Chains A and B, each alone.
Chain A
Amino acid sequence: MGQDTSQPISRRSFLNYLLGLSVVGWAGSVLFPIYEYFKIPPKRDDEPTSVVAASLKSLKPNQGVIFKFGSHPGILIMGIDGQLRAFSAVCTHLDCTVKYRPDLQKIHCACHGGMYDLNGQNISGPPPRPLTPYKVTQRGDDVIVSRT
């Protein structure tokens, strides 16, 4: 039986060519996610044990700044004596966010007038417990706040 060499062969090699191409395409669609997977994600820890709260340059005495500590706000205070203190900024009364009052040199909650001193102690108003204290360390210009 004579073989019609042109049609079947070219169809076969055409099929092979297409198959090869599509397999390469498929391999790419599998390898691309794997390649992306190896890329180091930006450090986005949802509940970190420590954060860089602020840079030393940006802080002045008698100033407080709110920073994000995981999913909760924290407050970093540079006292009038230059000493750094940090606490959880979640008021122990009804979870509002507290603020530093430079005029009183105390931490104040605007919701119901709760007051905390610079040791985090609840000294006036409805808060039933002190603020959770955090540890403050300095690394160069960075102010690092971590859980105690």
Chain B
Amino acid sequence: MAGTPLARVMGWLRERLPIDALEEFASHKTVPKYRGSIWYYFGGVSLFLFIVQVTTGILLILYYQPGVQTAYESVRFTVVHVRFGWLVRSIHTWSANLMIFSVFVHMFSVYFTKAFRRPRELTWLSGFVLLLLCLGFGFSGYLLPWNTLAYFATKVGTAITATAPLVGPWLMQLLRGGKDVGAETLTRFFGLHVALMPAIFTAILGIHLLLIQIQGMHEPHGWKDAPPAERRTMPFFPNFILRDLLLWLIVLNVLAILAVMFPWEIGHKADPNAPAPLGIKPEWYFLFMYQALKYFPGKILGLDGDAVGVLLFGLGGLLWALVPFWDPRLPSGARNRALNWIGIVVVAAILVLTGIGLS
């Protein structure tokens, strides 16, 4: 059948793939328009930032050389000598920070809108795993430039894992590839950061997105009972997608502005024999845990204070991950004010602790 070249290609594909069915399915997908609609975008922004990370990450791998003698030098080479290397590197670092911020906002928005409820428990669980992987990406990637801050932050961070009860020391040695942070740590983190974790992340992300597409967008509380006139929606394709793309475009430009106006430093090459710089602390997304641990006394009931702290955080995380399962059991009913209060306390605590840690 004659037509534009694009139409002819699409026609050829339609005979072989269920594109028609997909189009039919997609045309029915709607997104609720209400006061809280804005939160729907944060999932997409997180996805976009992940795509930016993969792209800039692949570009960086072209010049990065892991190894104690070459890591710092290769990053310096990329930033100083490679054309636009400074841009790729700064975007990668800024995007990492923005992505972690974005996934936290996305996670809390899902929590407060109770979007994790039946039938979306799996979406929540997979999302939680993705959040943990994000933090893992941040931690492992931070070491790769092998500068002073990275080296000592990694030392402090892996030392804290050692305080976990029973598995702590084993876990720390597993992470470090030995007793100390060194060449083995670097190669290990590199393999995790560019191969293992991206693979797992992509798989789980695929599941996460598939679930969303299959189950449709979450509707706010009381949506079903509202009269049809008040149930305003917009089609997912093309309206929501186009708006998403517009936001992504703006985010990309924000990244470029950040990369040019606030470029990331190369720092000085790590010297394991030098003393740790004063006030060394992990990156801001770990600060709330790091700061909280500082408040734990040295010994609690005969147990190591840090171990108790790590255990409590682990427990807290587990409870948070399982919120779809204990939420219905709370007596507050559908609106579940108790859940909101818990959430507010958690957000406030994180903000306050991070604030204290930064000052």
Contacts and interface: CB of A to CB of B under 8 A. Distances in A.
Nearest to B59: A37
A37 B84 contact: yes
What range describes how many residues of A lie at the interface? 10 to 19
B76 A46 contact: yes
Interface of B: 59, 62, 73, 76-77, 80-85, 87-88, 249, 252
Nearest to A49: B69
Give the residue among A34, A37, A38, A44 with the most B Cβ atoms within 10 A: A37
Given A46-B76, A47-B73, A41 B59 contact: no
A104 B83 CA distance: 48
Interface in A29-43: 30, 33-34, 36-39, 41-42
A39 B78 CA distance: 12
A37 B79 CA distance: 11
B83 A39 contact: yes
A94 B350 CA distance: 53
A41 B81 contact: yes
Contact of A36 (B62, B73, B76, B83): B83
A142 interface: no
Contacts of A33: 83-84, 87-88
B81 to A, nearest CB: 4
Contacts of B81: 41-42, 44
10 contacts: A33-B84, A33-B87, A33-B88, A37-B83, A37-B85, A37-B88, A41-B77, A41-B81, A41-B82, A44-B80
A46 B76 CA distance: 9
A101 B80 CA distance: 38
A95 interface: no
A36 to B, nearest CB: 4
Given A39-B83, A41-B83, A34 B77 contact: no
Contacts of B87: 33
Nearest to B253: A26
A84 B88 CA distance: 44
Nearest to A42: B81
B84 A36 contact: yes
A36 B82 CA distance: 9
Contacts of A26: 249
Contacts of A34: 59, 84
Nearest to B81: A41
Given A34-B59, A38-B62, A46 B85 contact: no
B54 to A, nearest CB: 13
